[in-house]
Amino acid sequence: MRLDNKVALITGSAVGIGAAIAERFLEAGAAVAVFDINAEGASQMARRLSVKGRALSIAGDVAKEEDVCAALARTIAEFGVLDILVNNAGIVLEAPVGNLTSEVWDRQLAVDLKGVFLFSKHAFPHLRGRGGAIVNVSSVHALVSYEGHAAYDAAKAGLLGLTRTLALEYGREGIRVNAICPGYVSTPMTDEWLAAQPDPAATLKQVLGFHPLGRIGTPRDIAEAALFLASDAASFISGTSLVVDGAMTIAGR
């Protein structure tokens, strides 16, 4: 699974899953644009990657159309082309429906769903004719709903519907569009969630018990799946979702 001479833009790639994807793509031969709302984090990540290959940092908000267009323009200006888009940026805003404000709902869907729409729409002219690939990072929340996550569940489920429609519309131009549905993954976001629990150690033990494989995922696990879907090894795969959760969902969790 190689990406030699390819250019990839990865959103939400300063830390966690996005950072692992950027690193793995660079190892596979791609030049990468690290896009994140955290400007300093994106800059640090790009500097670290630049030791091994070609990397560019771009700061912006996926929910702002002007930031999306500017990011794509900078990527093209720096690398000349775009071959792969990974829509990874995401947030988790927890609240039961009765306490869920319109502001929280709007922000959740703006980042996790609207941002994917905006990047996919504006990346299309650059991807067409190049056999391009889009990889959307959804979640097992798209398949199994959880109390207190109405906005997140809706956004991630909507992302699978958007992935299928993009695969239909963009397939005519040779562009493949797929999604990944990660389960629990060891990231700074997960660490913050665990730390906020009344008994973090007990919660971690419970979470580990959800997984028949006996562990939670690593960012590298998701990066390998993204590399597969972005590479020519998946040249006849489009419009589908790959669940990467250590069998958690089929275990009924």
Active site residues per annotation: 152
Q: CA 196 → CA 15, 217, 223, 225, distances in Å? A: 20, 20, 27, 29
Q: How many whole angstroms separate alpha carbon 83 and alpha carbon 77? A: 14
DSSP string for 61-121: -TT-HHHHHHHHHHHHHHHS---EEEE-------B-GGG--HHHHHHHHIIIIIHHHHHHH
Strands 133-137 and 176-182: parallel
Within 10 Å of residue 133's Cβ, how many Cβ atoms? Answer: 28
- Token look-up 């250019």 returns 7
Instruction: Fill in the amino acid letter for 186.
Output: S
